[in-house]
Amino acid sequence: MPDVNFSKISPRPTTSLSGRVNYEQELNPQQLAVVMAGQGPMLVIAGPGSGKTRTVTYRVARLVETGTNPDSILLLTFTNKAARTMLDRVANLLPVRTLHFWGGTFHHIGNVILRKHAKLIGYQNNYTILDREDSKDLINDILKTIKLDTPPKNFPKSNILAGIFGYAANTGREIKETIGKDTPQLMKFSADIIRIFDIYTAKKLKQNLMDFDDLLLNWKKLFEEHQTVRDFYARKFIYTLVDEYQDTNHLQGEIIERLAGVHRNLTVVGDDAQSIYSFRGADFTNIMEFPNRYPEAKIYKLEANYRSTPEILRLANCCIKHNTKQFPKNLQALCPEGEYPKLVILDNNFAQAKFVTKEILELHRREKIPLNQMAVLYRAHYQSMELQMELANLKLPFEIRSGLRFFEQAHLKDVLSYLKIISNFNHELAWQRALKLYPGIGPASAEHLWKTIKELKNLSALPACPDGPPEADRDANRHLSAAPASLPPERVASGKPRPSGRDGRASGPRRFSGAAMKSWQELVKLINKIDNPNLKDNPAVLINIILDEWYRDYLEGNYADYRDRIDDLKQLSVFAEQFNSLEKFLSRITLLTNAEGEEHRAGTKPSVSDRLILSTIHQAKGLEWSVVFVIGLVEDRFPDSRHTTESELEEERRLFYVAVTRTKQKLYLCYPLAGEKRSALYEIFQQPSRFLQELDASSYREVRITQNESY
DNA sequence: TTCTGCACCGTTTTT
DNA sequence: CGGTGCAGAA
């Protein structure tokens, strides 16, 4: 049980020890009204730092205390971690086991439900979840196979296409409509794009794959096409609570409606001023229109801020008042007065990095502020580069919550591809990824081998190189070309004849190089070893086998930093120990967020726990620190130059608002005067962010740091 | 057919 | 600055 300490979160009294919760004493009147509210839909508008988590936690506790079975409560949150935190706190209040609750992200809950009923919508229950990169790869494959006749130079790349598909799914719009509204310049390709989308959808079904959006789309489809299933869950969940409601999208809204349609005990909690995920289809109007869709809904507001000093709150209010679309709120600061936020003007990004590190060291040494109570926030990951260099130079421990996720690194995905193969035999991407790791097998051979493999029923049918004697004990001769034995029965290439001139023997069995032969044997050997019913539900052991039998050698031969990578895989294995099912393990890994991944990684590593946090503002949502630095506050970066419409600018402003309101005590807003022009050595002068310019000068204190000046 | 090296492009935010 | 695509050698 994590040591949750409420006094850290707010200055209010901690829980009673008696086991019965004293709600009146532990909640303010606004919070209490929410916790004690009875049945029916309700909307809770919760300002930053207003004890939203606390309120939801107590409401759940209250429901359980008054007789609701935890199994009948569904808690939908933005991250899995948020759900776990809330339910752990409920367990702290009451003698209940948290595993009886249903809680997690929409994707997680969708996955849990689909694992049980996937067959009803044409999938197998052991489907594999594609992460973003997998989807991209799959689309790339399609782009290659359909060979657009005249490859137009501006034809969108796979990540653009994936974006369109995802946006369409999440907003409930047709592909064509999405293109028209979002990227009208691609309208001329819409027929091809729709064709690709159809192939993509068909491939996923055939190979038993679901991407992130499918977890929601198919969830909805399941409920629409199978009324009995829908009724089962709608009756089961007597209470549904949705956190961060301002960031739900149209599709999620529809799912919620179906889930809560029977009992109508829907509690949604959010803050319209913190809606920052419209790029993912989040529909800010979900929260604005809630009272219209549920006319009987009661509206509550949490307006007391327990987090920030009045000075910080004043600056935040000063910022957000420039937005027009919002619920009126009257935030009240309850913390004692503190320091004014500082606007720090610096020469350039390097000066900014130097200032931030120096200041952090001072605060750490002089004021004994732990490093993990300080955070540096930015709009985009690349803005943290100079800072990372500086921190590394000074050996200041830090943790990055942006950029590539732990589980998305190549070496982890390599090893996981073997697990995906034995979990889902039809997983083409996984097969190809594994195949291409081996010497002598490139794209062409991998493609050929896959064509052979996919005709087979299952793994036990894999031809283990019938003719050739095992080469294992002749490894000294590995460079000599072995006598080409017949590999897996070659399927005659379908349809199109190959244009190659020397293709006379194309109809005979294909000949692979000796290296490819040996590689194939090695792969089959490994797969047969891990495809063992006794190990099937022990992913940790499987990972170790893959590592010991082959992958360690591969890493040592191909990467200078192989030690780090082996360490990562050992951590992966440790993480896997808690799972007793391969599918559960694989889903969990794909659905984990950045921060959660980092946490598990750190948890298995006996390293420093007191580390500075570097994070995008998006990832910082819901969190708080004593000291916050917001860096790179210049026009074009923040707000980002691609966001120019009024509503996009309002969202950027909300993002700035989120950054500011993470702060408890000390806030630094950093503005570097100069930045680097792309791919050039000279610097350009940058305008201060409009979000700085529009602040009242009285809401901050300005500091100018020039070169060589010690602060 | 595979592999390597070089040039260039574009560069957000996430489940 | 990193991934991707292309040209050329083994």
Question: What residues approach strand C to within 7 A at the CB?
Answer: A 140, 157, 385, 404, 679
pLDDT of residue A492: 31
A280 CA → B13 C1’, Å: 9
pLDDT of residue A626: 96
A682 CA → B7 C1’, Å: 22
Residues 109-138 of A with CB under 7 A from strand B: 131-132
Which nucleotide has the least CA–C1' distance to A140? C4
Nucleotides of C under 7 A from a protein CB: 1, 3, 5
Residues 412-441 of A with CB under 7 A from strand B: 439-441
A679 CA → B7 C1’, Å: 14
A557 CA → C4 C1’, Å: 23
Helices (H), A512-578: 514-530, 539-546, 552-558, 562-576
**Measured over all CA atoms, what is the biggest interatomic distance in chain A, rounded to whole angstroms?**
87
Q: Determine the protein residue whose CA lies at the shortest distance from the C1' of B12.
A: A380
Kindly give the parts of chain A with pLDDT less than 70: 1-19, 147-154, 460-512, 593-608, 676-683, 708-711
Q: Determine the protein residue whose CA lies at the shortest distance from the C1' of B11.
A: A382
| Nearest Cα to Cα of residue A44 among A306, A324, A416, A329 | A329
pLDDT of residue A595: 60
Which nucleotide has the least CA–C1' distance to A382? B11
Pairing of strands A266-270, A239-242: parallel
Rounded Cα distance between A100 and A24, Å, is: 27
| Nearest Cα to Cα of residue A618 among A379, A435, A458 | A379
For A200-227, letters b (16+ CB in 10 Å) and e give beebbbebbbbbbbbbbbbbbebbeeee
pLDDT of residue A73: 94
pLDDT of residue A682: 52
A287 CA → B13 C1’, Å: 21
Q: Is the CB of A375 under 7 A from strand B?
A: no
A151 CA → B7 C1’, Å: 21
A304 CA → B11 C1’, Å: 40
What tens digit of pLDDT does each residue of A191-249 get? 888 988 999 999 999 999 999 999 999 999 999 999 999 999 999 999 999 999 999 99
pTM score, whole prediction = 0.85
A49 CA → B13 C1’, Å: 22
What tens digit of pLDDT does each residue of A340-378 get? 999 999 988 888 999 999 999 999 999 999 999 999 999
Nucleotides of B under 7 A from a protein CB: 1-3, 9-15
